Amino acid sequence: MYRAVTEGIEVIVQPVFEPERSDPEAGEYFWIYQIRIRNLGDKVVQLRSRHWQITDGLGRVEHVRGPGVVGEQPILKPGESFNYTSGCPLKTSQGLMVGTYDMVSADGTRIEVAIPAFSLDMPDERRSVH
């Protein structure tokens, strides 16, 4: 589990390798990741967009940007959480993801919330520093 807190917004990530959606002989690897976003602060916030930086085991970097997450732009009151699950295909058996959520508070203040860097590693494979 990976965790980061930015200005009272907590992001927890749990990645899991998906062998049934992967084909290592064809160079296809797939992970799902579960994310929990929790408002630990005292202001209402809305997630507007996301930015991911995905690095595979060969150091190739892909940037993914878009509105919201899984088709939603959740509004979180103090103490509320939003959970979602998404996935990431790679052409290598290891990788790294890191990113940010662009959020805005009820008073219009923009907040760039850190998504903690997390490893995408096949089970039983020796981990390397990315």
pLDDT at 127: 52
Cα–Cα distance, 60 to 27 (Å, whole number): 15
Percent of the chain surpassing pLDDT 70 = 95
- The confidence band for 129, taking pLDDT boundaries of 50, 70 and 90, is very low
128 in a structural domain: no
The structure tokens listed for 120 are 């995408």
32 in a structural domain: yes
126 in a structural domain: no
102 in a structural domain: yes
Q: How large is the average pLDDT for residues 26-46?
A: 97
Q: How large is the average pLDDT for residues 74-96?
A: 97
**CATH assignment at residue 82:** 2.60.40.1470
Cα–Cα distance, 22 to 118 (Å, whole number): 19
Q: How large is the average pLDDT for residues 30-57?
A: 97
Cα–Cα distance, 129 to 42 (Å, whole number): 37
Cα–Cα distance, 7 to 60 (Å, whole number): 31
Percent of the chain surpassing pLDDT 90 = 93
114 in a structural domain: yes
8 in a structural domain: yes
CA atoms within 13 A on the CB side of 78: 5
- Is pLDDT above 60 for 126? no
Residue 71's domain spans which residues? 2-121
pLDDT at 122: 87
87 in a structural domain: yes
130 in a structural domain: no
Our count of domains for the chain comes to: 1
- Is pLDDT above 90 for 84? yes
